[in-house]
């Protein structure tokens, strides 16, 4: 009997690799690794707590060319690389010398997450949720989405054999709707904004009808959120096992920003990088900037807003991780800032012209905030800096107005006369 019990325990622990428990971010109460997301005592959000074994740079470097090279740092089974998943990650860290020169900076890189399988950073977080859903035996995957998440869930469900049903606000960009629907799952548009969609999903989870559904960003959120740590690991490894001195991260719910900080701290704790200070800067669009507003006013509480911006992937008016974002930015000596839609469009153009990277509006937000904080003297132009592009410009084509230079008859004379040589 005792042996059988031990075996069961070993197997179930292994299903989540080095993850040991869920712990409450407010009161520290610990829970078993189950599909739960809020503390029973204080309603604080739960996150994954680990007991890491020895992890070396060499082991990681020998691993697969995707996020599973960091499996020893994630809540996933040991054999995760063999399971059907989208295998995202190891996206390019572009040495942005021409953009740096234009902005008067010494060292700038763009982490280009448009290179993920469904062209946004969301493949990283969904890959984690898929493994948790498999372990918990869910058959339907779902989410509330500002667009990119719906596509990532649709694709991963197709690959891993889940049914999917995703919820989006009505009026999203066509590219995002097509990318959510093409994989064959259900796509339901809710008449309202993202925060209405989220409320609807919470109701569905509380109802017996949604009991066996895995909502990647609700009841699987603690596992899902850990996927963002892989951005931190990759950036450090791609810089030659070094932390950047400054990093600019977009904020929707704020989860990604807080987990990049968690990833950096883990690398330091495990001795995989030298312990040197880094500053985290958060970026929002002015039309949805509740975290920037709270930061500027010196508040800890984030007042919800009604979003109105072309940066729809970041349009969360009531960001769940807002207060934690402010903590990270203050603790590391960074800041939270916002730029208006005109600056977003202009910055998409700048990044494309100087580096050949076509960013979605979220990348325009981070690049815009980079320029603004340099102008203000908040960012140090001499420090090694990384700016994130988290999505692909092809998904937000309506935001830009680029078009043909001229339309002419197929005649060399006409071409010459038009002064285009």
Which positions lie near ligand PLP, rule CB under 6 A?
120-122, 148, 250-256, 313, 360, 362, 390-391
* 316, 186, 172, 256 alpha-carbon torsion, rounded to 10°: 30
Q: Beginning with the edge strand found earlier in the chain, give each strand of the sheet holding 213-215 in spatial order.
A: 186-190, 163-169, 140-144, 213-215
Query: Which one, 77 or 222, has the nearer CB to ligand PLP?
Result: 222
What are the C-alpha distances in Å from 183 to residues 118, 253, 397? 11, 25, 21
Nearest to residue 145, comparing CAs of 167, 175, 130, 165? 167
Q: How far is the CB of 346 from ligand PLP (least distance, A)?
A: 18
Q: How far is the CB of 361 from ligand PLP (least distance, A)?
A: 8
Q: How far is the CB of 395 from ligand PLP (least distance, A)?
A: 8
Buried b (16+ CB within 10 A) or exposed e, 96-126: beebbeebebebbbbbbbbbbbbbbbbbbbb
Query: Which one, 148 or 164, has the nearer CB to ligand PLP?
Result: 148
Query: Which one, 77 or 391, has the nearer CB to ligand PLP?
Result: 391
Q: What is the CA radius of gyration of the chain?
A: 22
Query: Which one, 55 or 324, has the nearer CB to ligand PLP?
Result: 324
Q: Is the torsion defined by CA of 28, 67, 395, 384 positive or negative?
A: positive
Q: How far is the CB of 393 from ligand PLP (least distance, A)?
A: 11
Sequence-distant (6+) residues with CB within 8 A of 389 are 110, 111, 112, 113, 114, 351, 357, 359, 360, 362, 363, 366, 367
Query: Which one, 120 or 318, has the nearer CB to ligand PLP?
Result: 120
Sequence-distant (6+) residues with CB within 8 A of 46 are 22, 23, 24, 25, 31, 36, 37, 38, 39, 222
What are the C-alpha distances in Å from 149 to residues 65, 146, 312, 336? 22, 7, 12, 24
In which region does residue 104 sit, left (phi positive, over 0), alpha (psi from -120 to 50) or beta (all else)?
left
Query: Which one, 55 or 336, has the nearer CB to ligand PLP?
Result: 336
Tokens coding 351: 């990044």
Element (H, E) at 125: helix 122-136
* 23, 268, 61, 366 alpha-carbon torsion, rounded to 10°: 80
What count of Cα atoms within 13 Å lies in the side-chain half-sphere of residue 182?
A: 10
Query: Which one, 55 or 70, has the nearer CB to ligand PLP?
Result: 70
Q: How far is the CB of 392 from ligand PLP (least distance, A)?
A: 9
Query: Which one, 254 or 307, has the nearer CB to ligand PLP?
Result: 254
Q: How far is the CB of 56 from ligand PLP (least distance, A)?
A: 29
Q: How far is the CB of 194 from ligand PLP (least distance, A)?
A: 10
Q: How far is the CB of 131 from ligand PLP (least distance, A)?
A: 18
Query: Which one, 47 or 360, has the nearer CB to ligand PLP?
Result: 360
Query: Which one, 66 or 148, has the nearer CB to ligand PLP?
Result: 148
3-state helix, strand, coil in the chain (%, to 5): 45, 15, 40
Q: How far is the CB of 256 from ligand PLP (least distance, A)?
A: 3
Q: How far is the CB of 74 from ligand PLP (least distance, A)?
A: 16
CA dist 212 and 205 (Å) reads 9
Query: Which one, 55 or 251, has the nearer CB to ligand PLP?
Result: 251
Q: How far is the CB of 217 from ligand PLP (least distance, A)?
A: 8
């Amino acid at each position: 009997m005792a042996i059988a019990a031990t075996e069961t325990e070993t197997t179930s622990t292994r299903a989540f690799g080095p993850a040991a428990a869920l712990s409450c971010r407010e009161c520290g109460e610990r829970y078993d690794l189950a599909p739960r997301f809020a503390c029973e005592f204080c309603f604080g959000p739960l996150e994954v707590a680990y007991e890491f074994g020895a992890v070396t740079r060499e082991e990681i470097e020998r691993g697969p060319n995707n996020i599973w090279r960091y499996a020893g740092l994630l809540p996933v089974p040991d054999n995760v690389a063999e399971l059907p998943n989208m295998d995202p990650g190891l996206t390019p860290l572009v040495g942005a010398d021409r953009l740096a020169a234009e902005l008067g900076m010494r060292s700038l890189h763009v982490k280009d997450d448009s290179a993920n399988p469904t062209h946004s950073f969301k493949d990283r977080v969904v890959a984690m949720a898929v493994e948790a859903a498999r372990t918990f035996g869910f058959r339907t995957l779902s989410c509330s989405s500002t667009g990119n998440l719906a596509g990532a869930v649709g694709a991963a469900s197709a690959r891993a054999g889940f049914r999917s049903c995703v919820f989006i606000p009505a009026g999203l960009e066509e590219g995002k709707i097509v990318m959510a629907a093409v994989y064959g799952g259900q796509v339901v548009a809710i008449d309202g904004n993202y925060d209405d969609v989220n409320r609807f999903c919470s109701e569905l989870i509380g109802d017996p009808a949604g009991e066996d559904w895995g909502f990647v960003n609700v009841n699987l959120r603690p596992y899902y959120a850990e996927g963002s740590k892989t951005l931190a690991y990759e950036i450090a490894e791609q810089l030659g096992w070094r932390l950047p001195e400054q990093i600019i991260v977009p904020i929707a719910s704020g989860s990604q920003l807080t987990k990049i900080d968690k990833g950096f701290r883990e690398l330091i704790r495990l001795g995989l990088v030298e312990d040197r200070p880094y500053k985290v800067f958060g970026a929002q669009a002015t039309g949805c900037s509740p975290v920037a507003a709270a930061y500027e006013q010196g508040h800890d509480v984030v007042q919800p807003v009604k979003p109105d911006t072309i940066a729809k992937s970041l349009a969360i008016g009531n960001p769940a991780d807002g207060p934690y974002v402010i903590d990270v930015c203050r603790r590391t000596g960074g800041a939270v800032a916002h730029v208006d839609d005109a600056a977003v469009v202009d910055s998409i153009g700048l990044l494309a012209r100087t580096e050949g990277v076509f960013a979605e509006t979220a990348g325009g937000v981070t690049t815009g905030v980079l320029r603004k904080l340099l102008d203000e003297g908040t960012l140090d132009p001499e420090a090694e800096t990384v700016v994130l592009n988290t999505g692909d410009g092809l998904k937000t084509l309506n935001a830009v107005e680029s078009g043909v230079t001229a339309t002419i008859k197929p005649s060399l004379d006409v071409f010459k006369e038009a002064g285009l040589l």
